[in-house]
Amino acid sequence: MRLAMATALVVLLGCGGKKAPAGGDFKEVEAKVGEVNAKVPASLPAPLTFKAARLDKDRLGALLPDGWVESQTLPGLFQPAGQAVRDGYLTRYAVGSNCDGACEAKDWASVVKSNEFEIPRGDVIKDEALGADGRLLIKDQDGTLVLRLARWKAGASRYFYCKVTLEADARPAADAFEAACRALTPLRW
């Protein structure tokens, strides 16, 4: 009887190992839709609105450009309908997670630095730490805007990212895309 009670207590309390950090709430993402859409300039050649979505096996809440098409070969990569990288049109928006190999706790700050932020060329517009567990970098590469945002947590098995490339015609929407990336919310690490 004592053994059964002790076993039940261990099951209820967990095994004492490190647990992955808790994630955010999808309602936080949904609450930012209006704020982000208010940043979209009316002068864009094509209409642009953002919508809230769950991605990456429900691990991630993100704002996506409504009507953009997801790549069939690269999950989480979106482009305007009718435009594709293979056609030379580089405007794109990508959100997702990366384990950088095995999905286990790592020194995410250094992994993310080499994976996401070592962009070889371009003039830095903004380079901002997002607390102790995130970073935002925006660069101008000869008129093309490149934005990278990453979020990580100690003890987590992955990090989350938002990557944006805006060609000249889409660049006026930079503030809206930055706000959409900032709304990136890990729901489960």
d(CA 148, CA 185): 15
CA angle 126, 128, 134 (to 5 degrees): 135
Q: Where are the domains of the chain?
A: 21-186
User: Residue 140 belongs to what H/E stretch?
Assistant: strand 134-141
What's the pLDDT tens digit per position in 45-68?
788 999 999 999 999 999 999 999
What's the pLDDT tens digit per position in 17-50?
445 567 789 999 999 999 999 999 998 878 899 9
Rounded to the nearest angstrom, the gap between the alpha carbon of residue 183 and the centroid of all alpha carbons in its chain is: 8
Q: Are 159 and 152 in contact (CB under 8 A)?
A: yes
d(CA 101, CA 121): 26
pLDDT score, position 21: 61
What's the pLDDT tens digit per position in 70-91?
998 999 999 988 765 555 568 9
Query: What global pTM score does this model have?
Result: 0.85
Output the average pLDDT for the chain: 87
d(CA 31, CA 120): 35
Residue 114 has pLDDT above 70, yes or no: yes
We find that the CATH architecture of domain 21-186 is 3-Layer(aba) Sandwich (3.40)
